Structure 1
Amino acid sequence: MREIVKNAMRALTPTRFLNTSKIYCFFYDNVFIRHGTGTRCISTASNEGEGDTATTTPTPLTRNKPLFTEAASFSELTRKDANTYITISEEDLKRSIGEGLPAGLTKEYEETKGSSLLVRASFLELRDELKACVEKAKNPNAQVRNPRKQFILDGPVSSGKSITLAMLVHWARSEGWFVFYVPNGKEWTHGGFYYKNPVAPTWDTPKQAITVLERLLKSHETILKRLPCQIFEPITLGEGPGIGMMKDAEVVAMPKGSSLFDLVQTGLTCSHAAVGVVVRLREELPLVKEVPVLFVIDQFNSWFTFSQYKEYTGRFSHRDIHARELTMVKPYRSMLHNDMMVAAYSHSTAVGKLRKHLPDTPLHVRYDFPRYSIDEAEAVIDYYSRQKLISHERFSEDKWKRIFYLANGNGSEIRNLVRFI
């Protein structure tokens, strides 16, 4: 924190600066900012009588490249388009992402009142790696390096991990890929009904399974109809949400010639089979050869801690059920496979601090997701200025750098602080 404030002070010319062990306070442009442990409040204050205020001549922001890229889609972007904005509306994203948009992306559209997204170098790197995986699979004898197939994005709160995942999902689906997208991993471990699995020592969550199948059908109905089933073993029936076990039936058969669409419909028409269908999809999707398959999981760290559910072990005792004991979570959280998978930790879900090396995850998959660089922040401030979130009369390059250093590259905080320029 001290280093952040020192960087901010190099760009600021304050009239007063208070330094305590845990609280940093200073004035600039008649705005009082107090940064303490756990809280940050910004309120107007007067600094009259505290000495002469240093004045600087505003320096307009000048960029060496256009703010908007000429690319019409994520597929057309190149590395040269980094730190520019691409025009894509919220409605376009909602049409391709039937599972729903992350809260941070919705808030970005709402507060900027725009229809563009920042193209970050980290997104382009992830996209190119996944694209290289598909090209390598088509031509395995090509003399190229082996691209990475799996990533776990780990970075500070509001660094843009969820937005990047949504952009990857939209790009992959526009390329014709099948994407199994979980925008809220914590939903798999909280809420709804839970029952003991009749066969395995795990716990079923049928309500969450039905939601997963509904969202998947909304996003991939056409592709699901084209993909044939490869596994025809009967699916074990469990308890339905709030309706108990099915009478006179323990399994449901999958006839030969069925498609993945038929498999999903089985889980939706028979809620007792919903959990089994979601588990079967995890076995079926790696066998798909017609289109590339990508797994994208947000709030991935929710699957490595305890769930909301409890098992009662006595009249006055119970034990917490771990996420790995949930029938749906167990097969999807492992990364010990050869499938393409991108996951992201969420540090805003308060699931607790986890050790660096998690079970069922290789060491090399961790990807340190950065905050905004100063070049990215420059593009963001320029975009906010054009969207009239910043007053042009008071805007200058010195002032946006103050905001960048105060927020330490945090995109959400930059958006909240620009109103004080």
Structure 2
Amino acid sequence: MALWFERAWIDKDWAKDVRLTIADGRIASIETGVAVAPDDERHRVALPGLCNVHSHGFQRGMAGLSERRSRPDDNFWSWREIMYRFLDRLTPDDVAAITAQAYAEMLETGFTRAGEFHYLHHDPAGATYADPAEMAGAIVRASGETGIGLTLLPVFYAHGNFDAAPPSHGQRRFLNDVDSFAALLDASRSKLAGDANIGIAPHSLRAVTPGELAALLELSPTGPVHIHAAEQVKEVADCVAWSGARPVEWLLRNAGVDGRWCLIHSTHLDADEVQRLAASGAVAGLCPITEGNLGDGIFPAVDYLAAGGRFGVGTDSNILVDAAQELRALEYSQRLAQRARALLASEEAPFVGANLFARAVQGGAQALGVPAGLAVGHAADIVALDLDHPAFAGTDDATLLDRWIFAARAGAIDSVWRAGIKRVEKGCHVDADAIAAAFRACVARLLA
């Protein structure tokens, strides 16, 4: 199969008149400056698909259910109680149906791989299923149904707060010790197919002790390591009370953080943590829409990028699934905080959209342990923009990504291929109707 594009984003720059030949789900060849051939499928603009570094797929089912003010100090912690109540009744089939809806929406907006931070392991009573990876299998089913690439990140969760505090009733479906987690990890790995891969996700320093963290790293000496860190001010204060150090500070000093790590959120960093996290080679996993929805705070992106820091973006709670809007929200958060414009750019990369996109492609792929961008041998994960969309009127190469990220609404993406298979056509997932019908029936029953 061959796809021909008027222009394609290759190695952080635009190439013209590009033919991508695809075989066995991968890019077999790239030709530039060539005329369209009769058998080529012709499109306008090719981008590499983005990696979604942080998703809780099942939370798409509760989107919009937590926007009522419940108390004067409504915040993340009160939202978490709503989330715990929502997941109380979820079955594996429910998780598969809800996650498939989230994954279809990801594909429609330009994400071609999901990093699923998966912590809902056990049955509603908190007991282990006969197959300890029953719930992981539901995630794999959703990935297979939609076609999205999958990096499965089974979560280790053992405690309710720092210093091995006992877990709450609402956390009963998450809990494992190191031995049961090892069995879960092995069972989850056996369910993967195609180019799906697996990492580990110690939930947070609230939920894992230093000894358990060391044991987890021995269980998985290679591959992605993801952890929530410094999302909340209270979390930072509690960590200081427990250890004398802030969460990211503690991890950098004690956990061997390097390029295979992704520190999710990292919202509340001091100046030293910004510099040291950037120097570590790890990826900051930023989820601007969710962080805004939860009132978490604003990541110090200007200083972090100036220090050479790497980042990827994720959809986290899936309150709204949109790749371009995540990047837009990241830039706008900086503008609001600093009352200035075009902050996540530089003299070398003066166009904000292109700079954000290039960094998110590289950082997201690193965080999920896959190669980045359109290149021979890489998975054929391709997003085609529709230049007939009004947002692109009169565009040139320099402003094209700015127009997509800052000026377009629905309809800017025409087609998406994942591993060489077209999963989105004319802006809609090819199985959108069936996926949405299953989602609607599931959520209606859960909320009845």
* Structure-2-length-normalised TM-score: 0.26
Which structure is higher in strand share? 2
Q: What TM-score does the superposition give when structure 1 sets the normalisation length? A: 0.27
Structure with greater Cα Rg: 1
